[in-house]
Amino acid sequence: MALDPETFDALLGAIRRFVAERLRPLEDQVDREDEVPTEIVQEMREMGLFGLSIPEEHGGLALSMTEEVRVALELGRTTPAFRSVFGTNVGIGSQGLIMAGTDAQKAEWLPRIASGEIITSFALTEPGAGSDSASVQTRAVRDGEVYRLSGTKRYITNADKASLFTVMARTGGEGARGVSAFLVPADLPGVSIGRPERKMGQQGAHVCDVNFDDVVVPAANRLGEEGEGFKIAMRVLDRGRLHIAAVCVGIAERLIGDAVAYASERRQFGKPIGEHQLVQAMIADSKTETMAARALVLESAALKDAGQPITLEAAAAKYFASETVGRVADRTVQIYGGAGYIADYGIERLYRDVRLFRIYEGTSQVQQLVIARETMRRGG
């Protein structure tokens, strides 16, 4: 489903102004304080940003994938910590519920997810299960009408703010087929949250350990059937990877704009540095790669909206876009020279921020494996 063009254009314009007028002036503050101001979070709620992908019948905007990535492109023009405030509600924290939840589960949780009343989080990664996500050891043991959940999840985004976790836990034997998915409220006895980790970048977006100590979870909170958890997780990640790819493109476009502005003003050897061919080469490479990444994201989103499987396309978009924004950030620091290394200009902050994109939602190496496997499966 998609909004009518006029309504969507108005939404996109409002988000563009919000980014330029409200978010960008706060970037340094958020980086220093490691916290997004509460008034900004409330404005995000009022704009409907927590419900971008939630069905209309549950209070969301029900954006199509193409519309969602166009919004993500705009949100990429500021520090990614702002998007992370509601990113789990829009993506990995809600999509399992949307895809596999019962009517009762959706009615209970989705309206509050869409409004931003509650924050969601996606608990898959463990101390011993990162890229090898089928090897989760957190266990859920059936005990009548409940499951007893025990284990530890690591690097969980928005864990310290979350009211609801989508948790992948082992209910059967080893491997992907032994994993099931559960909706676990954060206030259940036995759930505890670790302190936010100190990170290289994306200050203001917190990740924490989440511990489950014999947590009693009603069987009614299971998503889908036993053994379907890994399949649900992979479908959730397909969509999430495409969203993240769009954010990467937005940041790359922001960096190119900053680089061009600086190269037009900074003078060396008697002329603006943008007139030197080796600087022009860096700008040309950045622009070309970013245009290619944007085209790949939009094409993949269109396939998703057409009902086509996008496991390969989402992996390719995330791989290419995340690697691209890393190269663009590096070139932008180089164009700025010494100023690019100084905090006052904000370029070193974005350089740190974008490094994570090559790791979460699946590392670049995992994306390569997915791309190769899917290409071979489809016969080239």
The domain segmentation of the chain, as residue ranges, is: 5-115, 120-227, 231-377
- Catalytic (active site) residue 361: yes
The pTM (predicted TM-score) of the whole model is: 0.95
From 68, 74, 289, 361, the catalytic residue: 361
pLDDT tens column, 54-95: 999 999 999 999 999 999 999 999 999 999 999 999 999 999
The pLDDT of residue 154 is above 80 = yes
Predicted local distance difference test score (pLDDT) of residue 1: 60
For the cut 80, the answer to whether the pLDDT of residue 124 exceeds it is: yes
Q: What is the DSSP letter of 195?
A: P
Q: Residue 123: which of 71, 64, 182 has the closest Cα? A: 182
CB 280 within 8 A of CB 107: no
Residue 23's pLDDT band (boundaries 50, 70, 90)?
very high
Same fold, 120-227 and 231-377: no
Give the CATH class of 5-115: mainly alpha
Which residue did the predictor score with more confidence, 175 or 98?
Answer: 98
Q: Does domain 120-227 have CATH number 2.40.110.10?
A: yes
Q: Looking at the structure, give the CATH architecture of the domain made up of residues 231-377.
A: Up-down Bundle (1.20)
Over residues 156-178, mean pLDDT: 94
Buried b (16+ CB within 10 A) or exposed e, 256-284: bebbbebbeeeeeeeeebbeeeebeebbe
* 2 band by pLDDT with thresholds 50, 70 and 90: low
The phi and psi torsions of 299 (rounded to 5 degrees) equal -65, -40
Burial of 36 (0-12, 13-18, 19+ CB in 10 A): buried
**pLDDT at res. 111:** 97
Question: Taking residues 364-375, what's their average pLDDT?
Answer: 96
